[in-house]
Amino acid sequence: MKLISLEISDIKILEPEVYSDERGEFFEAYNYKKICELLGGGVTFVQDNQSLSKKGVLRGLHYQINPCAQGKLVRVVRGEIFDVAVDLRRSSPTFGHYVSYNLSSDNKKQIWIPAGFAHGFLALSENVEVLYKTTGYYNPLCERCIKWDDSTIKIKWPKGIGKTLSNKDMDGKNFKDTEYFD
């Protein structure tokens, strides 16, 4: 597995080694020991989540506040997404900045998003399945949502794809009104 750093250095892309032959493909999607070596410490996942989204569905920007903050290891098992993470750590030099990356079942890459970030994605293809591991359990009392089109963050979402949002995501807060991490 290869580690790729993004503009926000705490966000990492994990690229598996894929073995292909006439029968198909094989790759190791998760190995606790390798993940710990690559990310520099013990990362314990406690929950797996899977979503199915139609093209144009935008999910996010979600996060959970302390004591329920979650790190996420996100991958696409079918289709393609435009994935986004926003830094909510006040003490970080990249506070309020975001990174984006296209994840797909074709490129087989995963993104590591540590606690302290909001996360969201836009489904770029039909019937996208996203699987993500979390380091904390879901708690609806700790869940928060930032507006996907917040004018402070200014995410450059892909053009030409209509966006379908849940009521919860449409009611997300402005970045300046969110709860941050210290």
62 is a catalytic site residue: yes
Mention every residue, 6+ apart, whose C-beta is less than 8 A from residue 93: none
Tell me which of 30, 62, 97, 180 is the catalytic residue: 62
| Cα(96)–Cα(157) distance, integer angstroms | 16
Give Cα 84 to chain centroid, integer Å: 6
CA 35 → CA 27, 42, 70, distances in Å? 14, 8, 16
Tell me which of 30, 98, 132, 137 is the catalytic residue: 132
Residue 8's closest CA among 92, 126, 128?
92
Q: Where are the alpha helices (DSSP H) in the chain?
A: 32-39, 167-170
| Cα(71)–Cα(64) distance, integer angstroms | 10
Which residues are identified as catalytic?
Answer: 62, 132
